[in-house]
Each structure stands twice: as C-alpha cells, then as structure tokens.
Structure 1
Amino acid sequence: MTKYAKEILDIVNASSDHLTAEEVYLKLKAKNSKVVLATIYNNLGTLVKNGDVRKIAMDGGSDRYDKTIRHDHLICAKCGKISDFTFEDLTESLEQQSGIKILSYDLKISYICDDCKKNQ
C-alpha cells in the first residue's frame, strides 16, 4: 500500500462522517500540501477495489466513502444526510428467498430524517 493510500485509509477509518473525495482531499492536504485531488480519486478507487474502503453511491450527489465494518445506511431523501444503522444480517434470508449464494449486499434505505420532518 502506498503512503497516500495508507493516509487516505486512516482518514476514512478515523472519520465518523461519510466523506466525499473532496473532503478526504482537504483533510490530507492539511497534512501534506503537495497532494493533488487526482491522487485522492486514484487511491480511493484502488482502496474500494481492494475492499479496504466502502463506496456509497449517492443519487444526484458526490459519492461517499466509509469504513468496511458491516453496517447499513439510512439516507434522507430531502437533505441527503447519511446515518449508520446495523440491521440484522439478511444474507441467510436473502439466500433462502432467491435460491442463490449471496456474496455481499449493500443496504441503503431512503427515508425522511427528523430534522426534515420538522421543517415540512
């Protein structure tokens, strides 16, 4: 793993937020002024491909990056806020219903967060 990849992985793993590539860039740039945004995108792509970082594709917004620890996401349809939530592992149930071997799944549930409900 390259020096930048390790630093990017550390930033993602240390964050309680779901960071965009630009946010990762700003955090790393504060430590290393020579880094460029393309380096962040290239390394995030490699980290996702290798299974070290989880990519959350956002409809109509920037992709987010997260830890690989098993958890699910609640995404507010109004403001885009992402909240971590751990549901019961559905692998066995999905396999029984589908008749296929499930390697992995990514559960993203769209909802309206409490703040947006208050503002309606």
Structure 2
Amino acid sequence: MTKYAKKILEIVESSYSHMTAEQVFEELRKTYPTVVLATVYNNLNRLWETHRIRRVSVEGLPDRYDRIQRHDHFVCEKCGRLLDVDLGDLTAQLEQKAGIPFLSYDLKLLYVCEDCKRNSQQKGM
C-alpha cells in the first residue's frame, strides 16, 4: 500500500462525516501538499475495490467515503446529509425474504433532517 493510500485510509477511518474525494484531498494536502486530486481518486477507488472503505452513492450528489464497519445510513432527501444508523446486521433476514444469498447490502433510509424541516417551516410562514 502506498503512503498516500495509507494516509487516505487513516483519514476515512477516523472520520464520521462521510467525506467526498475533494474533502479527503484537502485533508491529505495537510500532510502531502504536492498531492494531486487524481491520486486521491485513484487511491479511493483501489481502497473501495479491495473492500478497505465503503463508497456511499446518493443520486445527484458526489460519492462519499466511509469506514467499512457494518452500519446503514439515513439520507436527507432535501440536502443529502448522511447520518449513521446501526440497525444490526440484517443479512439473514434479507436473504430469507429475497430467497437467495447475497454478498452485501447498502441500506439508505430517506428522511428530512431537522435543518431542512426548520427551513421549510420558516418559508411557509
């Protein structure tokens, strides 16, 4: 693993904010000021392909990266904010319902965050 990959893995694993590639890039530049964005994308892709990190995709928003620990996400349908939620491992129940075994799942629960609710209420006044 390259020095960049090690540091990127450390950044993603220590963050709970679901960072975009650009945010990882800005954080990595604190240690390696000459790194280029393509290096970050390449390493994020390799880390994801080798199951070292998770990629969280939400339609219309940039991919975000997360630690591999089993958990699911609430996604605000208005602003795209991601929140971690631990519903336990639902693999056995989902496999039973689906009738076939599968490798993994990525559960995203849509909701409207408190900020968006508040903004919506203020606009309605």
TM-score (norm 2): 0.92
- Equivalent-residue separation in structure 1 for 2:88 and 2:34 (angstroms): 43
- SS of the residue 1:119 aligns to: helix
Q: Does residue 103 of structure 1 match 2:99?
A: no
Determine the structure 2 residue equivalent to 1:117.
Answer: 117
Deviations 1:27-58 (A, max 9, x none): 01111111000000000000000000100012
Q: Deviations over 1:3-46 (max 9, x none)?
A: 11000000001112100000000001111111000000000000
Residue 85 (structure 1) aligned with residue 85 (structure 2): yes
For 2:123, the equivalent position in structure 1 comes to none
Establish whether residue 44 from structure 1 lines up as the match of residue 48 from structure 2: no
Q: Is the 8 A contact 2:74 2:111 kept in 1?
A: yes
Question: In 2 relative to 1, CA 88–14 (structure 1 residues): closer, same or farther, beyond 3 Å?
Answer: closer
Q: Percent same amino acid at aligned positions? A: 52
1:59-109 Cα offsets, whole Å, 9 max, x none, are 111100000000000010111110000113221111111110122100011
Q: Which residue of 2 aligns with 1:14?
A: 14
Q: Secondary structure of the equivalent of 2:100?
A: coil
The range that moved more, 86-95 or 22-31, is 86-95
**Any stretches of 5+ residues in structure 2 without a counterpart?**
121-125
Task: State the TM-score, normalized to the length of structure 1.
Answer: 0.96
- Give the CA RMSD over aligned residues: 0.9
In 2: Cα distance, 1:69 partner to 1:114 partner:
26
Q: What is the identity, as a one-letter code, of the residue corresponding to 2:75?
A: I
What is the number of equivalent residue pairs in this alignment? Answer: 120
Native 8 Å contact 1:94 1:102 kept in 2: no
Q: Counterpart of 2:55 in 1: which secondary structure?
A: strand
Question: SS at the partner of 2:110?
Answer: strand
Runs of 4+ in 1 over 4 A off after TM superposition: none
CA distance in 1 between counterparts of 2:88 and 2:20 reads 27
